[in-house]
Amino acid sequence: MQGEVSTVLLVEILATAANLLFVVLLIRENILCWAFGIAGSLLSVYLFIDARLYSEAFLYVFYAAMGCWGWMRWHRHTETDANPVTTWPAVFHWWAVLLGSLVALSLGYTVQYYSDAERPLIDAFTTLFSILATYMEITKVLEGWIYWLVINLASVWLYHDRSLDIYAALIGLYSVLSIWGFLSWRKTYQSQLEATANAPEF
């Protein structure tokens, strides 16, 4: 039992370090962020299966796969010097929240009925909207950081409730980093707009 606890703690520490490096490098728009993101995600799958947070485990499998896509996409766009920060119109966000909430409710009640999962509803909501926010960070949508801020604040309680205290502390730090990420990417976006406005017309 002691060995199992020690293994879980070691995996949690390694996953925490990898995931933290991922977010810091993502904010700095460094393509190496995806390597740490993939490693941290794969380590996290073990933790969430052990904690019986099955939606979260599925989410981190998804993160690992999306990390591969993110790495390839950023590499391709960086080679052509075209990897800008973008924004979505408000109507996109209204539809995203509405449809995401409906799917999350369906997933949460299904998992609650067919498994021994803990906190299936909040687990489902954080999972579904994390999938959306991951797509937004890969495609460099500025508002993705706002989604992450809300998701992270909800996840702090969820992880603490399941005795994943190191992860709860990490996600609390993510909440702060989400604000930094938004401000940093907004600065990049504003610089892009200024560059476009000052570009010579032919």
Q: What is the pLDDT of residue 1?
A: 46
Q: Is the pLDDT of residue 198 over 80?
A: no
Helix spans in the chain (H): 2-27, 33-50, 54-79, 90-114, 120-138, 144-161, 165-197
Q: What is the pLDDT of residue 82?
A: 73
Structure token pair of residue 15: 């996953």
Q: What is the pLDDT of residue 107?
A: 80
Q: What is the pLDDT of residue 199?
A: 64
Q: What is the pLDDT of residue 58?
A: 81
Q: Is the pLDDT of residue 188 over 80?
A: yes
pTM of the model: 0.81
Could you report the per-residue pLDDT of 150-180, keeping only the tens digit for each? 999 888 887 777 677 777 887 889 899 999 9
Q: What is the pLDDT of residue 117?
A: 64
Whether residue 25 contacts residue 32, with contact meaning beta carbons closer than 8 Å, is answered with yes
Count of beta carbons in the 10 Å neighbourhood of residue 49: 14
Q: How far apart are CA 118 and CA 55, in angstroms?
A: 10
117 against 38, higher pLDDT = 38
Q: Is the pLDDT of residue 103 over 50?
A: yes
1 against 198, higher pLDDT = 198
Could you report the per-residue pLDDT of 29-84, keeping only the tens digit for each? 999 999 999 999 999 898 888 877 776 788 789 889 999 999 999 988 776 667 78
Q: How far apart are CA 47 and CA 12, in angstroms?
A: 7
Distances (CA, A) of 182 to 23, 43, 86: 12, 27, 12
Mean pLDDT in the chain? Answer: 85
Q: How far apart are CA 146 and CA 107, in angstroms?
A: 23
Cβ neighbors of 44 (< 8 A, separation 6 or more) are 15, 19, 56, 57, 60, 63
